[in-house]
Amino acid sequence: MAARTYTSVEDIQGPTFTCPRCDRVYPYPIDHGRAVRCECGWWYTNLGHGRIVEEFRPRIGGAKTSGPEKAAD
C-alpha cells in the first residue's frame, strides 16, 4: 500500500517521481529546477537530463547549505 500524505495536493499531471523510501508520489523534478521535498525528509534535485541526486535534510537542526549530497548506501 502506498504511503498516505495529509498535504492537500492536486492530482499530478505529467511524469511522476516516487520516493524510493516511502513510496509517496510527486511531480517529476524539472531539469535544474527546485528540489522536490518528500515528507520523509529526503530532497530530490534534478541536475539535468534526469540525473537525480538525493539529500537528507532533517527538519530539526537544519542541514548543510553547500548543495546536494550523495545519499549513504
Task: State the pLDDT at residue 19.
Answer: 94
Task: State the pLDDT at residue 26.
Answer: 93
Task: State the pLDDT at residue 22.
Answer: 92
Q: Structural domain of residue 41, as residue ranges?
A: 29-59
Higher pLDDT, 17 or 60: 17
Query: Which residues, 6+ apart, have CB-to-CB distance to 52 below 8 Å?
Result: 17, 29, 44, 45, 46
Task: State the pLDDT at residue 9.
Answer: 60
Q: What is the pLDDT of residues 1-57, one digit of tens each?
A: 666 666 666 788 889 999 999 999 999 999 999 999 998 889 999 999 989 999 988
> Is 69 a domain residue?
no
> Is 64 a domain residue?
no
> Is 49 a domain residue?
yes
Structural domain count of the chain: 1
pTM: 0.65
> Is 51 a domain residue?
yes
> Is 4 a domain residue?
no
Query: Which residues, 6+ apart, have CB-to-CB distance to 61 below 8 Å?
Result: none
